[in-house]
Structure 1
Amino acid sequence: MTYRVDLAVRVEDALAELPADGLREVMEMIAAILARPGSWPTAGGWDLRFAPRSWVAFVAYADGIEVYDLGWAG
């Protein structure tokens, strides 16, 4: 099954401001989340995932996720 990922406007803005290594880490984390739908909370639920220098907050839906916030400690 193909899943979708939506990005909140502030997430799109934050991604545009990240350095290359930050963008890579965050995008890899989003891809890893998307690839494991069994690890998502139930539809409508939210979760927060961490990488070495970043975090991503998302809401799960039946057909994908919406990333509504992220952070970078670079």
Structure 2
Amino acid sequence: MTYRVDLTFRVEEALACLPDRGRQEFFKTIAAALVRPDSWPPPGGRHGALFWGPLSWISFPAYPDGIEVYDMGWAG
């Protein structure tokens, strides 16, 4: 199944400031979250979830067709 990923403006700005290594880590974390829809909160955008990668994390609500990343962090 194909899922949609939206990034809030705040996340887009943060991504622009990361080095290539940080951006790669961030997108790997999103990909890992997308293949685990069982870790998503109930669809509808009222509840959020955290998903951790090796060096990054994302915070997102879920919708029937994907997620919207509204916050992120990188520990690199």
Consecutive aligned runs of 4 or more in structure 1 exceeding 6 Å deviation: none
Determine what percentage of the aligned residue pairs are the same residue.
61
Q: Which residue of 2 aligns with 1:15?
A: 15
Which residue does 1:67 correspond to in 2? 69
Within 1, Cα distance between the matches of 2:2 and 2:23?
Answer: 23
The alignment partner of 2:10 has SS state of helix
Stretches of structure 2 that go unaligned for 5 or more consecutive residues are none
Q: Which amino acid aligns with 1:14?
A: A
- Matched residues in 2 for 1:2 and 1:70: separation? 22
TM-score (norm 2): 0.86
Match of residue 56 from structure 1? 58
Moved more, 16-25 or 38-47: 38-47
In structure 1, the gaps of 5 or more residues are: none
Structure 1 counterpart SS, 2:41: coil
**SS at 1:71 equivalent:** strand
Q: What is the RMSD of the two structures over their aligned residues, measured on CA atoms? A: 1.2
Q: Give the TM-score normalised by structure 1.
A: 0.88
